[in-house]
Structure 1
């Protein structure tokens, strides 16, 4: 029994290289499958939050629909059907487009 452990411990140099290569390949795989997409998504969210403008229709992460009425340093004020509410910029999840939800004022002009 002791000879088996000695034989396994006697050859660490030959078995170390494939183990290091496998660990390196796993790290590269994790980087491209998990870390890089998260960084890309975070960058897109930051650009979206910086590009918000007054009058844009948005949806918050909690599902509130409204229109941005003011942009402040510490957040935005969103006008909903029930009144005006203040949210952090990070709480805005997506924007509605004019093609999906056209203004009533444009329909009245036609």
Structure 2
């Protein structure tokens, strides 16, 4: 049975350019990953950094935790956010997901208060 192995090894002779052909697929994968994953992530990170640097007092923000509030004080790394009358939290500026348009917080509260309450104020009247 050794004679089959020797024949197989003898036929595999060196082909010119086989090393270059073997590198095309991994290089193509790296290029695809760069344009589909790495570059867009870097762009989002740059936009978020710019957003965090431009935070100012009075901005209405949405945090990563889902809280909506108005910035009452801004420091280098932390910001105080007023969620409601007398309710204020301190959070890292990097925890801000987006800055909302002016008046979005008030409009959202009015919409939530107006819709879905029955006469007792305990739930949806249609249920």
Q: TM-score range by the shorter chain?
A: 0.7 to 0.9
The size of the alignment, in residue pairs, is: 102
- Mapped to 2, the partners of 1:72 and 1:11 lie a distance apart of 66
Q: Give the drift of 1:6.
A: 4.9
The structure in which a higher percent of residues are helix is 1
Gaps of 5+ in 1: 105-110
- Mapped to 2, the partners of 1:58 and 1:22 lie a distance apart of 45
Aligned counterpart, 1:88 = 92
TM normalised by structure 2 equals 0.70
4+ runs of 1 displaced by more than 6 Å? none
- Mapped to 1, the partners of 2:33 and 2:40 lie a distance apart of 10
Equivalent of 1:19, from 17, 22, 46?
A: 22
Over 3 Å counting, the alpha-carbon distance change for 1:18 and 1:101 in structure 2 is same
- Map Cα deviations across residues 51-72 of structure 1 (whole Å, 9 max, x no partner): 1110000010011110000001
Equivalent of 1:33, from 22, 31, 36?
A: 36
Equivalent of 1:57, from 57, 60, 84?
A: 60
- Map Cα deviations across residues 32-51 of structure 1 (whole Å, 9 max, x no partner): 11111111110000000001
Q: Is the 8 A contact 2:82 2:89 kept in 1?
A: yes
Q: CA RMSD in A?
A: 2.1
Aligned counterpart, 1:70 = 73
- Mapped to 2, the partners of 1:5 and 1:72 lie a distance apart of 71
